Chain A
Amino acid sequence: QSVLTQPPSVSGAPGQRVTISCTGSSSNIGAGYDVHWYQQLPGTAPKLLIYGNINRPSGIPDRFSGSKSGTSASLAITGLQAEDEADYYCQSYDSSLSGWVFGGGTKLTVL
């Protein structure tokens, strides 16, 4: 059972917009800790996609965007492409656990 809750799967057709939610609690996201997102393509290591809730590292297309409100955060992907098919993980810090926590991951399928 992950500390951060994500939907197991989402799907969308090419060109569409999808969102992935990440729900936490008052000891992590709700406590003001930032949320970060990773993309994990099949058989590869996770790659940083969004950091500090809304920021994209160099080289990440602006089709990817992040937001945070209260005890939740969201990742939005617009103009869905076949190569976006991957697992996506949110991550934050938890003060009760005094450590870093991940969501359970969301598998994105491009129809």
Chain B
Amino acid sequence: QITLKESGPTLVKPTQTLTLTCTFSGFSLSTSGVGVGWIRQPPGKALEWLALIYWDDDKRYSPSLKSRLTITKDTSKNQVVLTVTNMDPVDTATYYCAHRPYNSGWFDPWGQGTLVTVSS
């Protein structure tokens, strides 16, 4: 059974850097074809894909946020970390991490999500 769980601060101040950790079990990020992605959802709004890291450390970022995002993995700890620099109130959202199955284009399953509020 694959599970993922996001952790990190619930409140950050504008201009600060957000660091979120996704801790997963039930799969290995060293398995060929597998990936972990980050998706966010502002309150009452749609889902927005942010970043994805593959088993071979290849990384992909949303073009609109690329300059502010960094995704890394620690295979030994079964963790993926997302950092977002220069946080702004518009970045207030629930941040999800999700498993990208072998050579697929979808995300399944997702973590429960963590709400991050940006406010001074």
Contact = CB atoms under 8 A, between A and B. Distances in A.
Contacts of A99: 49, 52, 60-63
Nearest to A87: B46
B48 interface: yes
A45 B108 contact: no
Interface in A55-111: 57, 89, 91-93, 97-105
Nearest to B113: A45
Q: Which of A33, A98, A100 has the most CB of B within 10 A?
A: A100
Contact of B105 (A89, A93, A98): A93
- Determine the interface band of chain A, counting residues with CB < 8 A from chain B: 20 to 34
Question: By DSSP majority rule, is chain B's interface helix, strand, loop, or mixed?
Answer: loop
Contacts of B106: 34, 36, 48, 51-52, 91
Contacts of A52: 105-106
Contacts of B112: 44-45
Given A33-B105, A91-B106, A98-B63, A46 B47 contact: yes
B109 interface: yes
8 contacts: A33-B105, A45-B111, A45-B112, A45-B113, A51-B104, A89-B47, A99-B60, A101-B49
